[in-house]
Amino acid sequence: MLDLPDNITTSRTGTLVLCEDGDQGNFLRGLTTDGRIFDFAKNNIAGRTDDEFAGATFSPDHRTLYVNIQASTGMTFAIWGPWGRGGF
């Protein structure tokens, strides 16, 4: 069902956020408490699609999801909700 998931964190609803770096691309995926898997984001940065997501974590108030691109010239994204939809 998943291809090399790692760097796992949890949302306030218990949904897991997985950084998945597999043969079909590099994704952020959600895994709900009832076993539903959904795509949240895919790395489609031109020229950098092989760079992996890593280190996903929520801020202490769970309003911001931070995630990194793991590469020699890495970057960090801050993603804001609303988180009430999609399992987060």
DSSP for 51-64 reads PEEEEEEE-TTSSE
Domain, as residue range, for 75: 5-80
Residue 88 placed within a domain: no
CA 71, distance to chain mean position in Å, is 16
The total of structural domains in the chain comes to 1
Determine if the peptide bond prior to 82 is cis (ω within 30°).
yes
Question: Cα-flanking dihedrals φ and ψ of residue 16, to 5°?
Answer: -85, 140
Residue 47 placed within a domain: yes
- The total number of residues shown for the chain amounts to 88
Q: What is the pLDDT along the chain (88 residues), one digit of tens a residue?
A: 888 888 999 998 899 999 998 888 999 999 999 999 999 999 999 988 889 999 999 999 888 999 999 888 889 999 997 776 656 7
Name the pTM for this structure.
Answer: 0.85
**Which tokens is 34 given?**
């009832």
Residue 87 placed within a domain: no
